[in-house]
Structure 1
Amino acid sequence: MPASSSPSSSASTSPKSDTASSYSARHLSVLEGLEAVRKRPGMYIGSTDSRGLMHCLWEIIDNAVDEALGGFGTSIEVVLHADDSVEVCDTARGIPVDIEPKTGLTGVEVVFTKLHAGGKFGGGSYAASGGLHGVGASVVNALSERLDVEVDRGGKTYAMSFHRGEPGRFADRPGGSGSKKPDSPFSPFENGSELTVIGKTPKAVTGTRVRYWADRQIFTKGATFQTDDLVSRAQQTAFLVPGLTISIRDERPAALAETEDGLPIERVFSYEGGISEFVDFLAPDKSITDTWRLQGSGKYTETVPVLDDKGHMVSTEVARECEVDIALRWGEGYETVSRSFVNIIATPKGGSHQAGFDQGLLKFLKQQLDANARRLKIGNDKLERDDITAGLTLVLTVRLPEPQFEGQTKEVLGTPAVRAIVANVVAKTLAERFSSSKRDDKAQAEAILQKVVSEMKARIAARAHKETQRRKNALESSSLPAKLVDCRSNDVGTTELFIVEGDSALGTARAARNSEYQALLPIRGKILNVQKASVSDMLSNLECASIIQVIGAGSGRSFDLDAARYGKVIIMSDADVDGAHIRTLLLTLFFRYMRPMIEAGRVFAAVPPLHRVVVVNPGSKPNETIYTYSEQELQGVLAGLRRTNKKYQDPIQRYKGLGEMDAEQLATTTMDRKGRLLRRVKLEDAENAGRVFELLMGNDVAPRKEFIIDGAGLDRERIDT
């Protein structure tokens, strides 16, 4: 990238002198590495869309985070300015401002213009960091139309500016930071760079401020900073670095337009509890254990190329240390939530540290089950990984120098020695917990074993019933419940299963249904409350087992939505309190053990009418029938009839149950696709739904009592408790 690419690349007005300065040896040496970045940006930041833009921002933020990891600096502020620039401020040590002897440049210029240079390259300043190659700041600089850096260090404030990677001066108009523009006239340094002193600060005050404007010649037109992604990762980072405060402020016009007062929204994250708070934040269910911390370390050696005094790379065996910090807890549910990190870099696809955790946990719990096999009544059952991770919420972090990743994306840790170190830490720290004499530790250890055994037995039971949970052909239909009234069609896209309340409703529904695609399954009264019951109790309950068997897709972790025998499941209960109770119990069953059916929008509640109004027409004109679904709607209909002087049969028929309808009425109002009304059951927020189910159907009575009293508007003092 010749410096002459900028119209204002020289202060001289002579074309000849302009060309001479642009192609001086100094400029070529500064730009030779960054030119490759501008020509092939995808090699360094992945893409030139919004993802690449966010990658650049996180390169700058991670520099500040690495300082905080090293114990320097406690706050990072990110500001998305209205002029499309972004600024990152920290209170760390500040970039070195002295001269680097090999290049003769200040530390600031080395960091922002030299690839593979910085404190992370060679392991001199950072024991464990997110950056590997020391290219982050220089790459961001190369891909920025303008970058300004200010450093507070040694009682002074230093400043330097860059234009597409080249150091120099911008001729900004007076007016403070708001007057800084990426298109201001720019003059590159010709003989030597100058790190300008622009102010004084107390000697105790240190830090770095980087503000840059992404180069729109590089990034696509629609590339923007994604606030949601920024906030999410900032919160995650604050969890991983206890005591670090990260604030995000969006001053862009689009963001201000979404606020009521037109002021920028600032999000601030700080967590003293670290990954323990992270686990509590991630956990989707009610806990059966406290959040445990498993911490330890291990040493290993590896052979790596090291730069010697002569500038040669020499293979050298170096000693390393890996620090392990794990937070975990088990909950009542069966979902597994796992996050793993290496030096705060997320590794969503795991790697050697995740494999070590799985190995250590599985081996330890197998030993515990073998030692307690008779008491836990395990028999010959074999433990599997899914049995121990059901209901587990885990945050796994390791810190080590120069980690090896598989591929450019850093999604998989490849350092082999980490596996054994993590496995040993897990086994050792869990053994201390399980052998503890504290009452709480003993109770929680027992709860984990009971949970694991319950999941193991549920998996084995589900596997045993797997074949019976598939749609049977004519020769196999006898294995389905005898009370199922099946349909003829095998097309899952059109078939419907009606779960009806009682045999009386079944008789009417059998005559009202379309036997081609509508199946009926009667249940006897109120089914088991599965929110309180164990998995084994649920599977042994006749009504619950029949529903799971008829739907044919399994239950819990083994549920396979594609294997479901019906496209829709419709709960058809009476429009009274008992009917609502039965519907709640059925929805609890679906929520806990067949949740994908609800998430796919395939579970419905039928809406039968409450009233039947017969309008008497004069003469030979047939009477008209109107169905209403609430008391308010009924009064509105009657008022309308009175206004138009129409007569209706009195008394109004009120349906107390589905059994009071004849087949024609049930078909017209509730089952016929042309005229029925269905209410789709949705899960807008599974966690909130889980809390509501726990409140209404769980073991804890006190919160449910409070809910009922508050909802009923009763006077507490008048209740005999």
Structure 2
Amino acid sequence: MCAKKYDNESIRALKGAARVRKRPAVIFGSDGIDGCEHSMFEILSNSIDEAREGFGDTIIITRFLDNSIEVEDFGRGIPVDYNEHEKKYNWELVFCELYAGGKYKNNTGGDYEYSLGLNGLGACATQYSSEYMDVEVLRDGYKYELHFEAGENIDGMKKTKFRHRHTGTTIRWKPDIKVFTDIDIPLDFYKETLRRQAVVNSGVKFVLKNEISKEEFEEFEFLYENGIVDYIKELTEEKEFTGVHYIETERSGRDREDLPEYKLKMSFAFCFDNEFSTTEYYHNSSFLEYGGSPDKAVRNAFVYAIDQYLKANNKYNKSEGKIQYSDVQDSLVLVSNSYSTMTSYENQTKKAINNKFIQDAMTEFLREQLAIYFIENKMDADKICNQVLVNKRSRETAEKTRINVKKKLGGNLDVANRVKKFVDCRSKDPEKREVYIVEGDSALGACKLGRDSEFQAIIPLRGKILNCLKAEYDRIFNSDVIVDLLRVLGCGVEIKSKHNKDLSSFDLNNLRWNKVIICTDADVDGYQIRTLVLTMIYRLVPTLIEKGFVYIAESPLYEITSKKKTYFAYNEQEKSEILSKLEGQKYSIQRSKGLGENQPDMMWLTTMNPETRRLIKVTPCDVIKTQETFDLLLGDNLAGRKEHIAENGHQYIEMADVS
């Protein structure tokens, strides 16, 4: 096989637009929709920088049906005329030259003290990656117009005298499908991006126009007069248990002794909430999805300050371990908004910063301010620290539960790992197998003798099952009855708790049964056991109910015998219908026996034979309604339960086992 030639002529350099068009992911982080979205933000960020400097308080973004985009601002207008220093037109530098712009002077952001874009890549890279781009600039008494196609300027710059009422820049472009694999930026991305920018640029109004048909637009506005404070109140719906606390400062420093000094401006707003928690970091208006320096500072400062308060006020139990950040984070709602004249982003997508000075300055400031806040707000400090301890202890309990459940539910259900008194069937086909959950050993005996052992298995309940609606997870999984039922089902558990997210191990594909049949006596005790089992399934494996795997075996209420023939009535109406047919004949009638008293053939006929049994599929049409019903019957709503019994109890008085 001949080797490919590799010599001095093999090296090539991409030039002009090809540097972006052939490798968009290098600049935008992706050649997919994420990269396309980032290219839009590059243009938007230039308008934001102008507004932050005090030039224009409104930015208008238009999303067109053909996937083209327009950003209009009312700033000073991009300088695009001839640049004597560079011996080029500024439009060439801004739109056709990577690493060129007005933010390089003296390492301080040039004409922008705090700038979102510092690298001089965004406008040029977006132009290069566009099918076309039209630029209109109003400044200095002129209107400047530029047109680009596939990264190339067409016909230079058009400059005309113009009496403009305001200055500003309008850029309309269409991302090129030849560059990006997807250019249909979702409306929700625009909304989320503009909402975030309104949060960190207080007083700047962002108007989003979305074209829904030819020349018909829907409009959205985003404005936060008080910035991150208003945003936090919106997030918590003002249900926080401590008021929103706002702090800000400015610092100067350097990342290393041999590097230049730069400025940092930072602000934080935070509160504590039992129902909602989030931390969001913004730097130079860019949302830091991965945080970096600000996130490290918040983690360090909050753990340090709260730990110090807990120690000083003797709130830890004896030998209790130190809190972790997750214990704080569970109740913390915090938004940081910072700006610096120099910024080290992890990459051009600006999802994290890694400046050492910024991290150190934020850590020191937060530690200092939290200490003051705790001294001046003793009641809030106690609330915060007590809640953090609650979170810590819940987490530790959850960890013990996780280990316990993993140990108990792990492994295969075989001879060496057998569930006590569980009677399996011969078939290994989950599409045919069904398991009966029965009450007690006597029912087990009758069902075992009356079943079809090819496809019907039985597990008896040993003792009263726990009310899973009210119990904590650690107590639930300490119940052998519940653990055994889960092991027999085989599909794991579904956990809905912030401390037990990693405990959820549910996999419907591992369900070992086509039908899970709850089989209890037709009396008050039987109904209660049935409800408790359903509650357990609803709390721990609700998907089985939603997907229709759970059934109730309906037991006959009456046995009516006439001329050696027995009829079964499952309710009062059926009893009346049978008796009307036996009119004039001798018959005897009695309440049906408990399952454990039935003969095997009777058990097969009434409860287990697929041809003659009656099964009720448990299919909640509304999960919320089901939850409310369970809560009413078994939860803490005592007043509601009393009212329900008063209104409906008469319907079941005949079933009551009272004398």
Q: Is the 8 A contact 2:476 2:482 kept in 1?
A: no
In the TM superposition, residue 117 of structure 1 has moved relative to its aligned partner by 1.9
The DSSP-based 3-state class of the residue aligned with 1:302 is coil
Moved more, 657-666 or 104-113: 657-666
Q: 2:169 aligns with which of 208, 213, 228?
A: 208
Distance 1:322 1:701, change over 3 A: farther
Where does residue 295 of structure 2 map in the other structure?
354
CA distance in 2, matches of 1:545, 1:288: 39
- Structure 1 counterpart of 2:85: 102
Q: State the secondary structure of the residue aligned to 1:430.
A: helix
Contact map agreement 1:298 1:421 (CA 8 A) in 2: yes
Q: Equivalent of 2:286, from 336, 339, 345? A: 345
Q: Could you tell me which amino acid in structure 2 is paired with residue 138 of structure 1? A: C
1:266 is aligned to 219
Structure 2 counterpart of 1:115: 98
Match of 2:328 in 1: 388
Secondary structure, aligned partner of 2:76: coil
Q: How does 1:623-634 map to 2 (within 5 A)?
A: none
1:415 offset after TM fit, Å? 1.6
Distance 1:132 1:83 in 2: 31
- 1:423-442 mapped onto 2 (5 Å cutoff): 423-437=363-377, 439-440=379-380, 442=382
Deviation at 1:132, TM superposition (A): 3.1
2:184 to 208, 212, 224: 224
* Cα distance change, pair 407–581 in 1 and its aligned pair in 2 (3 A): same
Alignment CA distance shift 1:97-1:442 (3 Å): same
Listed as ranges, the gaps of 5+ residues in structure 1 are 1-30, 169-187, 257-261, 305-314, 591-596, 615-621, 639-649, 713-721
2:264 aligned residue (311, 317, 321): 321
Matches for 1:674-685 after TM superposition, within 5 Å? 677=617, 679=619
Partner of 2:3: none
Kindly tell me: are residues 383 and 520 of structure 1, through their superposed partners in 2, closer, same or farther at Cα, counting changes over 3 Å? farther
Unpaired runs of 5+ residues, structure 2, are 1-13, 559-564, 578-586, 649-659
Task: Say whether residues 1:547 and 2:482 are aligned partners.
Answer: yes
Q: Is the 8 A contact 1:143 1:218 kept in 2?
A: yes
The answer to whether residue 511 in structure 2 is matched with residue 567 in structure 1 is: yes
Q: Which amino acid aligns with 1:427?
A: R
1:421 to 358, 361, 385: 361
Match of 1:50 among 9, 33, 38: 33
AA aligned to 2:163 is K
Offset of 1:301 from its aligned partner?
A: 0.9
Residues 276 and 449 (structure 1 numbering): CA distance in 2 closer, same or farther, change over 3 Å? farther
What code does the residue aligned with 1:606 have?
A: V
Amino acid at match of 2:117: G
Equivalent-residue separation in structure 1 for 2:414 and 2:38 (angstroms): 58
Question: For this pair of structures, how many residues does the alignment match?
Answer: 589
The equivalent residue for 2:46 is 63
Shift of 1:33: 4.1
Question: Deviation per CA, 1:309-343, whole angstroms, max 9, x where unpaired?
Answer: xxxxxx7522332524253534258xx74443333
8 Å CA contact 1:322–1:418 kept in 2: the answer is no
Contact persistence 1:294–1:430 (CA under 8 A):
no
Structure 2 equivalent of residue 159 of structure 1 = 145
**8 Å Cα contact 1:146/1:164 also seen in 2:** yes
Q: Percent identity?
A: 23
Q: Within 5 A, what are the aligned runs for 1:634-673?
A: 663-664=603-604, 665-667=606-608
Q: What is the deviation of 1:451?
A: 3.1
Alignment of 1:391-410 (within 5 A): 391-410=331-350
Q: 1:137 aligns with which of 123, 126, 129?
A: 123
1:364 paired residue number = 305
Alpha-carbon distance in 2 for matches of 1:696, 1:79: 54
State the secondary structure of the residue aligned to 1:608. Answer: strand
Q: Secondary structure at the match of 2:221?
A: strand
**Other-structure match for 1:147:** 133
SS of the aligned residue for 1:321 comes to strand
Q: Which string of whole-angstrom CA distances, capped at 9 and with x for unpartnered residues, describes residues 262-321 of structure 1?
A: 9543333333454455556667998555555464554421369xxxxxxxxxx7522332
The structure-2 alpha-carbon separation of the partners of 1:91 and 1:338, relative to structure 1 and needing over 3 Å to count, comes to: same
Question: 1:196 corresponds to which letter in structure 2?
Answer: T
Q: CA RMSD in A?
A: 5.6
Q: CA deviation at 1:155?
A: 6.0
1:646 corresponds to which residue? none
What is the one-letter code of the residue matched to 1:400? S
Name the structure 2 match of 1:251: 211
Alpha-carbon distance in 2 for matches of 1:361, 1:218? 45
Residues 465 and 401 (structure 1), Cα distance of their counterparts in 2 relative to 1, 3 Å cut = same
Shift, 1:59, TM fit: 1.4
8 Å Cα contact 2:198/2:222 also seen in 1: yes
- Residue 508 of structure 1 and its aligned partner are, at CA, apart by 7.1
Paired residue for 1:557? 500
Task: Tell me how far apart the structure 1 counterparts of residues 68 and 479 of structure 2 sit (CA, whole Å).
Answer: 59
Q: Would the alpha carbon gap of residues 585 and 68 (structure 1) be closer, same or farther in structure 2, given more than 3 Å must change?
A: farther
- Which secondary structure state, in structure 1, belongs to the residue aligned with residue 220 of structure 2? strand
Alpha carbons 1:238, 1:246 under 8 Å: kept: yes
Contact 2:144–2:160 (CA under 8 A) maintained in structure 1: yes
- Aligned-pair distance for 1:210? 0.8
Task: Tell me what 2:193 maps to.
Answer: 233
TM-aligned CA distance change 1:153 to 1:504, over 3 Å: farther
Tell me the residue number matched to 1:259: none
Cα deviation 1:20-41 (Å, max 9, x = unaligned): xxxxxxxxxxx96445334544
User: Which of 395, 402, 409 is the equivalent residue of 1:455?
Assistant: 395
- CA displacement 1:401-438 (0-9 Å, x = unmatched): 33223345433422223332333333333333433346
Q: Do the aligned partners of 1:612 and 1:653 also contact (CA within 8 Å) in 2?
A: no
Give the AA of the match of 2:173: Y
- Residue matched to 1:411: 351
Q: TM-score, normalised by structure 1?
A: 0.64
Q: Structure 1 residues 694 and 403, CA, compared in 2 at 3 Å: closer, same or farther?
A: farther
Deviation at 1:92, TM superposition (A): 3.1
CA distance in 1, matches of 2:429, 2:504: 11
Contact 1:120 1:132 in 2 (8 A): yes
Which whole-Å deviations, capped at 9, do the CAs of 1:112-146 have from their partners, x for residues lacking one?
23322223334113333332311111122223343
TM-score by length of 2: 0.69
Q: Which amino acid aligns with 1:235?
A: R
Counterpart of 2:71?
88
**Residue 541 (structure 1) shift:** 6.1
Q: What code does the residue aligned with 1:547 have?
A: I
Superposition deviation, residue 75 in structure 1: 2.6
Distance between the aligned counterparts of 1:154 and 1:695, measured in 2? 72
Take 1:695 and 1:416, find their aligned partners in 2: how far apart are those partners?
56
Q: Which moved more, 1:47-56 or 1:289-298?
A: 289-298
Following superposition, the deviation at residue 60 of structure 1 comes to: 1.1
- Cα gap change, 1:440/1:103 in structure 2, threshold over 3 Å: closer, same or farther? same
1:196 corresponds to 2:168: no
Q: Is the 8 A contact 1:76 1:90 kept in 2?
A: yes
Task: Assess, with a 3 A threshold, how the Cα gap between structure 1 residues 215 and 130 changes in structure 2: closer, same or farther.
Answer: same
Report 1:708-719 matches (<5 A). none
